[in-house]
Structure 1
Amino acid sequence: MSSRAATRVFQGVEEQIATGQLKDGEKLDETSLAERFQVSRTPVREALLQLVGSGLATQVPKRGCFVKAPSLREMIEMFEVMSELEGMCARLAARRISDRQLIELEQSNRECGDAIKANDSDLYYRKNVEFHECIYSACGNGFLAEETRSLRRRLQSFRRLQLRVRGRMLQSLDEHSEIIEAIRSGDADQADRVSRQHVMIQGERFNDLLAHMEQDP
């Protein structure tokens, strides 16, 4: 129960940081968060540790936990690096993927399609993570895979939110199909190119989402 509650608090605070409702440097008070999410302080502490681990908060001894929101420039820079890492993973996967891994990749994309039919962007995000995990595993380079996962965790709130932009899930699914085709055919250059474009579009779409949210009353 505590773990589920901690995840709910983590995702709630994560989204508020991503959308600017919680500002950089703002204190994350355990008591206030426990009241806001109607949980005990134990899952709040777990959530704060997750936020620190994901780079969205910092723990200051004897002072508490504070929001560490990336600036727009930092976000753009992270998306640029993320696109290169994803491209490298796809490039290697095109050369090294096994038949079993290819089947798993295709199945993950079908499940992404099922999430679209359910109009569930959060489910799509989870299935999208599984899709990319298949590529990380297939690249055959553990160090590269872990570095890519690490940056993905830092960007996960922003990548999740951009899927709420109208039409983005369908576009993302089409891009997945292009990535799969390039990997299936062993075209490393094409796999690299379409994977990099896939992630950079996410950065642009996230900016669209922020603009849309700022227009809401």
Structure 2
Amino acid sequence: MTLQAGPGLRLEQDDPTEPLDRQSRGTLAETLRRHLADDILDGRLLPGVRLDEQELAARFGVSRTPVREAFKLLAATGLVQVRPNKGVVVTSITPERLAQMFEVMGEIEAACARFAAQRMTAEERQRLAALHAEAGALARAGDREAYDAMNTRFHSAIYAGAHNDYMQETAQAIRQRLRPFRRAQFRVSGRLSLSWLEHDSVVRAILHGDGEAAYHALRLHVTTVGDASADYVGRSSG
């Protein structure tokens, strides 16, 4: 099977006078990962398709090194598998498996919210409120890319506010695994504003020091995120 070309076939350079391969390879690999993850979740790259390193390097106008690094990032999320004698192949995640992953994510994030409500310093609470306010402006503007980045910062602030290093590391690891799916939710109509409103319930509970309310609000939020992500992926691949 051959690759189906998605939108935006070449990556934009920050400095047009500087070759892409001289830019930060980590940043470039992450950009490639995002493009390929979007193609997979949008159904442009179907399960079983082999990802050709040379073809992708030509498609995006880069060397093969960042493509290999992007493959590693995709493999960490489970979107692709490295198979002997077959190379890198797009995998298929069942709705049941995705639901299980979000169920675990919901419990971990909810526990972080509970502890954050109990343990955040005054400065951390102010920072969380500020992030939430910035996210609100982005949601109203309909800026999906910027809101997605702010969303990551928002949740990371809650993980850190739990003041439990192991829990924070666990939450970040699971979030990284689910990152492409969480990103997909924002393509669902009206999801930006709903996401912000769900965050609002979490923030209010944390600022009031109500651990139980924070736990339930964030657990409900992640459950809704999982449903929205699964719905989008299902419609894209159907």
With structure 2 as the length reference, what TM-score do the two structures score? Answer: 0.83
Q: Is residue 162 of structure 1 aligned with residue 202 of structure 2? A: no
Q: 1:90 is matched by which residue type in structure 2?
A: A
Q: Is the 8 A contact 1:95 1:186 kept in 2?
A: yes
- In the alignment, the residues of structure 2 paired with residue 33 and residue 12 of structure 1 have an alpha-carbon distance, to the nearest angstrom, of 11
Q: 1:10 is matched by which residue type in structure 2?
A: R
Q: Is residue 6 of structure 1 aligned with residue 29 of structure 2? A: yes
Partner SS state of residue 81, structure 2: strand
Q: 2:55 is matched by which residue type in structure 1?
A: S
Q: How does 1:28-47 map to 2 (within 5 A)?
A: 28-47=51-70
Q: What percentage of aligned pairs have identical amino acids?
A: 36
Q: 2:219 is matched by which residue type in structure 1?
A: R
> For each residue in 1:94-141, what CA deviation from the matched residue of structure 2 results, as whole angstroms up to 9, or x when unmatched?
111111110111111112112223321111111011000110001011
Aligned residues: 215
- In the alignment, the residues of structure 2 paired with residue 69 and residue 123 of structure 1 have an alpha-carbon distance, to the nearest angstrom, of 28
Say which is worse superposed, 104-113 or 131-140, in terms of deviation. 104-113
Q: 2:173 is matched by which residue type in structure 1?
A: S
- Superposed structure 1 runs of 4+ greater than 6 Å apart: none
Q: How does 1:161-180 map to 2 (within 5 A)?
A: 161-180=184-203
Q: How does 1:145-160 map to 2 (within 5 A)?
A: 145-160=168-183
Structure 2 partner of 1:124: 147
Q: Is the 8 A contact 2:102 2:223 kept in 1?
A: yes
Considering only aligned residues, what root-mean-square deviation do their CA atoms show, in Å?
A: 1.9
Q: Is residue 99 of structure 1 aligned with residue 104 of structure 2? A: no
Q: Is the 8 A contact 1:5 1:39 kept in 2?
A: no
Q: CA deviation at 1:212?
A: 5.2
Question: Unaligned regions of 5+ residues in structure 2, if any?
Answer: 1-22
- In the alignment, the residues of structure 1 paired with residue 72 and residue 61 of structure 2 have an alpha-carbon distance, to the nearest angstrom, of 18
- In the alignment, the residues of structure 2 paired with residue 131 and residue 213 of structure 1 have an alpha-carbon distance, to the nearest angstrom, of 28
With structure 1 as the length reference, what TM-score do the two structures score? Answer: 0.91
Q: CA deviation at 1:78?
A: 0.6
Say which is worse superposed, 189-198 or 62-71, in terms of deviation. 62-71
- In the alignment, the residues of structure 2 paired with residue 105 and residue 155 of structure 1 have an alpha-carbon distance, to the nearest angstrom, of 22
Q: Is the 8 A contact 2:37 2:74 kept in 1?
A: yes
Q: 2:74 is matched by which residue type in structure 1?
A: L
